[in-house]
Amino acid sequence: MNTKRPHFDEMLLDTDGNRAPYTEYAKWFAQQDPARLIQKSKEAEAFFRRTGITFNVYGEDEEQERLIPFDLIPRIIANREWTKLSKGIEQRVRAINAFLHDIYHRQEILRAGIVPVELISRNEAYLPQMIGVTPPGGIYTHIVGTDIVRTGEDDFFVLEDNARTPSGVSYMLENRETMLQMFPELFSQIKVQPVSNYPKNLRRSLAACAPAHCEGKPTVAILTPGIHNSAYFEHSFLADQMGVELVEGHDLRVVDGHIAMRTTEGYRVIDVLYRRVDDDYLDPLNFNPDSMLGVPGIMDVYRAGNITIANAPGTGISDDKAIYSYMPEIIEFYTGEKAILRNVETYRCSEADTLKYVLENLADLVVKEVHGSGGYGMLVGPAANKQELADFANKLRARPSNYIAQPTLSLSTVPIFVDKGLAPRHVDLRPFALMSPKDINITAGGLTRVALKDGSLVVNSSQGGGTKDTWVLED
C-alpha cells in the first residue's frame, strides 16, 4: 500500500514501513503494552512536577505556573543527518560571531553594501556602548540556540537564530534523564549519543573565555533576574549542574575595577558571568536607569576587559529577524562558503513592494515581529479568522519595519503518544552550540518542541506546545 502523506513523516514511509532511524524503536514499541505506556506517561508528568520543571506564561498569575507537556515517543535522527546539521550550525555560529565583531568595529559588511546601514543604525538591538569593544577571546556568542525545521528527507531550514539568552537546554537534559529512568532497556538496545555532558562542556567553554589577566581556575556565575522569571528553573538547574553560584543583581558590586559576588567570607571576584538578564536591564548606569535586575557599572568593568559576559551585550542585533533575511549573504561574506543550511524565504515588510505583497497574501503567510520570541506577537495566517487578519494588517501598516513574513512551511511530523496509539504532530528542533576561542561544541540532539494540537504549527510552550527527547543515533 502506498499512501502519500500531506507532510513529511520522520518515522513512517509512504509505504507501510518505518524510516531507517526508527526501525529498532518501532520493533520495541510494537511489543509494548499500551496500558504500561499510559502509566509511564503519568509517571513522567509526576516526575516533572516533583522536580519543579515549570514555566510561567507572561501576563498570567504566578500561581498558574505550568508544566511543559512531555511526550514519551523520542524524535530520532540518523547520524548522517546530524552530521550535516552540525556542520551547518557551526558554519552559521562562526559567521554570526564574525558579523558581530565587524559591525561593532570596521563595519566592512556595511561598506560592501551587503547589509543596509539603516538596518543596523536604526535597530534598537544595536548597542552603541559596544562600538570598539572586543570581548575576551573575541567571542560574542558563547551559547547559541538555532531553531531548525524540516520539510523533507534532506530538506532542513533554519527558522531563526537565538543569540541573546537562548533557553530550553534544561528541558533537553531532563527529557533524556526521564527517558533513561523510564525505559533503561531501550538505551541498551539502541545506541544513542549522550547529552548529559552539556553542563560540563558549558562550564569548560565559559571558562575558556575568561579575561586574559585571569589566573588559575576562572570563577563562573549565572546571573538570574530572580524567581519570578519564566525560565528561573533553568537558571537554578544549570547553576546546580555546573557547580557554580546563581546570583542576582543585588548580590554583585564593583570592587577594585572588577565584579564581585557577596559570599559568607566577603566579596569574591567573578571572571565569567553567564547572564540571563536582557541587555536593557544589565546596567542601570548605561541602559534602563530603573532596572533593579542588573549591576550598576558592570559595562564599565566589561569595557575595561575585567569580566566576560556571556552572551556579550549587543548580540541581539544578530538574531533580529530582519537581519536573519540576510544570513546567506552574511555567511558567504565571512566564510567564503555557501550556507550549508538554508534560510526560510523571508519578506521584509519595511520594503514598500514587499509590504504590499504581504498584505495581499496575509492569509497564507506567517508574520513575526523582528524582535519577537516565544510565539508572541506573531500571526499564523492560515489559522487566523477575518477579524484577526484585519487587525494584524493594521499593525503592519502602522509599523511595517517591525515585521517580517514567511511562507507557511509544510513542517515535518513525528509521532506523539495518544490514547489510541500514535498520532503525527509538527515539530521543530533547537540544537545548542557552545563557542569558545578553542572550539565550537554542539550537543548531539537538542530540544525538540512539538505542537500537541492536531494540525497546529505553533510549537512554543507558551502557546500550548510540548517537548520530547531527541535521539541522535551512533553509527
| One domain for residues 103 and 251 | yes
- If asked whether residues 80 and 210 sit together in one domain, one would say yes
d(CA 335, CA 97): 11
How many domains is the chain partitioned into structurally? 2
- 319 shares its domain with 454: yes
Q: Say whether both 277 and 188 belong to one domain.
A: yes
| Same domain for 364 and 233 | no
**What distance in Å separates the CA atoms of residue 369 and residue 378, rounded to the nearest whole number?**
6
Q: Which of 389, 407, 425 is the last residue of a domain?
A: 407
Whether residue 401 has pLDDT greater than 70: yes
Share of the chain above pLDDT 90, in %: 80
**Residue of higher predicted confidence among 7 and 87:** 87
**179 shares a domain with 134:** yes
Ranked by mean pLDDT, the top range of 48-57, 192-201, 363-372 is 192-201
Say if residues 370 and 126 touch (Cβ distance below 8 Å): no
Asked if 50 and 108 sit in the same domain, the reply is yes
Residues 403 and 419 in one domain: no
Do 72 and 166 lie in one domain? The reply is yes
Digit-coded pLDDT (tens) for 186-232: 999 999 999 999 999 999 999 999 999 998 999 999 999 999 888 89
End-to-end CA distance of the chain: 31
Whether residue 373 sits in one domain with residue 334: no
Q: What is the extent of the structural domain holding 401? A: 345-407
Mean pLDDT of all residues in 283-301: 96
Distance CA 233, CA 226 (A): 10
The answer on 183 and 308 residing in a single domain is yes
pLDDT digits (tens, 9 = 90+) for 168-186: 999 999 999 999 999 999 9
Query: For residues 308 and 63, which has the higher predicted lDDT (pLDDT)?
Result: 308
In a domain, 141, yes or no: yes
For residues 283 and 358, state if they share a domain.
no
The reported pTM is 0.92
Residue 10 placed within a domain? no
Which residue did the predictor score with more confidence, 413 or 376? 413
Please determine, for residue 60, whether its predicted confidence score (pLDDT) is greater than 50: no
The reported pLDDT for the residue numbered 24 is 96
Q: Which of 407, 440, 458 lies at the terminal end of a domain, its last residue? A: 407
C-beta neighbour count of 334 within 10 angstroms? 19
